[in-house]
Amino acid sequence: MSNETPNKRSNYIIAGGQDGKSRLNVLAEVLYLHTRALLEAKGLLPGMRLLDVGCGGGNVAMMTARLVGPTGSVTAIDFDREIIALDQQDVVAAGMNNIAFHAMSAYDINYDNKFDIVYSRFLLSHLERPLEVLKRMVQSVQPGGKIIVEDIHFSGHFCYPECKAFDDYVTYFTKAARNNEQDAEIGPRLPGLFRQAGIENIGFDVIQPTFNTGKGKWMAYLTLDKIKNTLIEQRIATEESIVQMLQELEVFTNDEHTIMSLPRIFRVWGTKISETID
């Protein structure tokens, strides 16, 4: 998700469309149990209304639509029209009728006291003005409702043993985001941003899924592949060097004796107490 109007991707460093959705589907599968447990622990119940801001591949939106059931509803937005169209196809194929997808920027949401829970995952780190969007999320939830955010502390990645391609990937991703005035290190800042947005009863935890095999271990390779055009455009790396990095990272990922983590993930939640925010 970015601050651009629908279908403009100039500030979003990861490839979108069908390729982007394929990567997001893998990420969603890896994080499914973590995110579901978080939402249920923070009060998601049948009959509730949930807003998913920056829904990406639609995976969390569909999961929560099943959890809130036929008496509840999910509204999901993302600025990428192609991904939204693919999400809508998934909903039709699943025969679900309690979920609505909309192609729009997070900066343009304008709901008032409508939802029981407003949620985002890996959105605020891709925005130039995350506090502005967080305030709109607060506006969207009803008094007493919850705001729940999951986002990254990208330099918290680690692997074992040392792998230069992995270290360069972490450095390059963070630099590419910073060049576009985004903050791939936003995780530790989130509780403070919640306070600035007028959210109360703030809590947080940190998770870091780590793998020696399986789909989760492939996220670094998949993400590097999807940011290669940005790295080339920003002259952070050449096409030839990225090809070499991908080859090295593939060998490292395939080795069951190596260990690789996802970024450190901060999960922050709080409550909207009053009807308005400053």
pLDDT of amino acid 275: 62
Contact yes or no for 58/101 (Cβ under 8 A)? yes
Q: What is the dihedral of CA 18, 267, 186, 169, to 10 degrees?
A: -50
Q: Per-residue pLDDT averaged across 113-142, rounded?
A: 97
* Chain mean pLDDT for the chain: 94
pTM, rounded to two decimals: 0.94
Q: Residue 1: pLDDT band by 50, 70, 90 thresholds?
A: very low
In sequence order, the 6+-apart residues with CB closer than 8 A to the CB of 105 are 1, 2, 3, 4, 5, 6, 79
Q: Specify the pairing of strand 141-153 against strand 200-207.
A: unpaired
**Which of 7-16, 42-51, 191-200 bottoms out in mean pLDDT, i.e. has the lowest?**
7-16
The string of pLDDT tens digits covering residues 148-202 is 999 999 999 999 999 999 999 999 999 999 999 999 999 999 999 999 999 999 9
pLDDT of amino acid 4: 43
Token pair recorded at residue 157: 């990645």
Domains in the chain (CATH in brackets) are 17-153+182-210+264-271 (3.40.50.150)
